[in-house]
Amino acid sequence: VVSRTIGAMSLSKIWWSSAGQKVIAGVTGVALATWLFVHAAGNLTLFGGAEVIDRYAASLKAFGPILWAARLLLLFAFVAHVSAVTRLAKRARLARGASIGPTVRRSSTLAARSMRIGGGLLLVFIVFHLGHLTFGALHPDFRPEEPSHNLLRGLASTPVAAIYVGAALLVALHLVHGLRSALFALGRAAPKKTDRRALVLTSLAVVLALAFASVPASIWLGAIQ
Ligand code: HEM
């Protein structure tokens, strides 16, 4: 019993340590980013026609409890990610303050501030987005079994299309900043602009932004009807 208690204690110590929180932030970050790519690819099925995206959505819903388990996992990854990155950012800020000294302490860098503001805006978007396209409370003419109709009708309005395009850009920026700080955490110096890994990650973020933005932009322009 004693060794099990000690084992549990050291496990919890590792979990809450900086290294443990970095692993949690990294693993959940990769999981969330992967989900975002799957989501963006799923949205692109609208270009195949209304019946293609409706069939895709119906096939996802057919998974029933498995889909709910995946949704719970997504929610858990999201909460763990936000909690780990805020904890790490707070520790880094305190460490920076301590090394600079109290007189010239800077409370946060521009990148850290934009991550916080961007992350907060994304959270507001997600709440709006779920109310709009998943639950329908914020949609003018919601049909639960017809995501194609909900998209075409819901994103035809200029302000709503602008919100979705804005979210596409914001999520990509968030990804670039997050991945840059992950690279920074793995190395000793900030990654150079020409760092090949940083270039690959930035290109992936651009692809994600284009994939997400193409759907609201095409609906708004009347290219998909
Ligand atoms: C910008 C273009 C986007 C479009 C056109 C779009 C479209 C959709 C659609 C059609 C659904 C399914 C609604 C349903 O039938 O239940 C959905 C669900 C969802 N979207 Fe998006 N989305 C976009 C961007 C985003 C972004 C940037 C995020 C996150 C940062 C996001 C997060 C979610 C979440 C969490 C769900 C619920 C997933 C689930 O029910 O399992 N979406 N989206």
In 155-195, which residue ranges form alpha helices assigned H by DSSP? 158-186
Supply the residue whose CA is at minimum distance from atom 40 of ligand 1. Answer: 134
pTM, two decimals, is 0.87
Cα 69 to chain centroid distance, Å, stands at 19
Q: Is the C-beta atom of 126 inside 6 A of ligand 1?
A: yes
Ligand 1 centroid, distance to 136 Cα (angstroms): 12
pLDDT of 190? 61
Structure tokens that stand for 19 in this block: 């290294």
pLDDT of 196? 82
Q: Is the C-beta atom of 61 inside 6 A of ligand 1?
A: no
In the chain, which residue ranges form alpha helices assigned H by DSSP? 2-16, 18-44, 50-61, 65-100, 110-129, 147-154, 158-186, 196-221
pLDDT of 113? 76
Q: Which among 152, 175, 159, 168 is positioned nearest to 222, based on CA atoms? A: 152
Distance CA 38, CA 36 (A): 5
- Ligand 1 pocket: which of 43, 60, 82 to mutate (most atoms within 8 A of CB): 43
For the chain, the average pLDDT equals: 87
Helix 18-44, helix 2-16: angle, nearest 10 = 60
Q: Is the C-beta atom of 164 inside 6 A of ligand 1?
A: yes
Q: Is the C-beta atom of 21 inside 6 A of ligand 1?
A: no
pLDDT of 108? 58
Q: Is the C-beta atom of 39 inside 6 A of ligand 1?
A: yes
Q: Is the C-beta atom of 115 inside 6 A of ligand 1?
A: no
pLDDT of 104? 46
pLDDT of 99? 58
Inter-residue contact 44 to 215 (CB < 8 Å): yes
pLDDT of 191? 59
**Segments in the chain below pLDDT 50:** 103-105, 107
pLDDT digits (tens, 9 = 90+) for 31-66: 999 999 999 999 999 999 999 999 999 999 999 999
Q: Is the C-beta atom of 162 inside 6 A of ligand 1?
A: no
**CA-151 nearest atom, ligand 1:** 10
Ligand 1 centroid, distance to 88 Cα (angstroms): 28
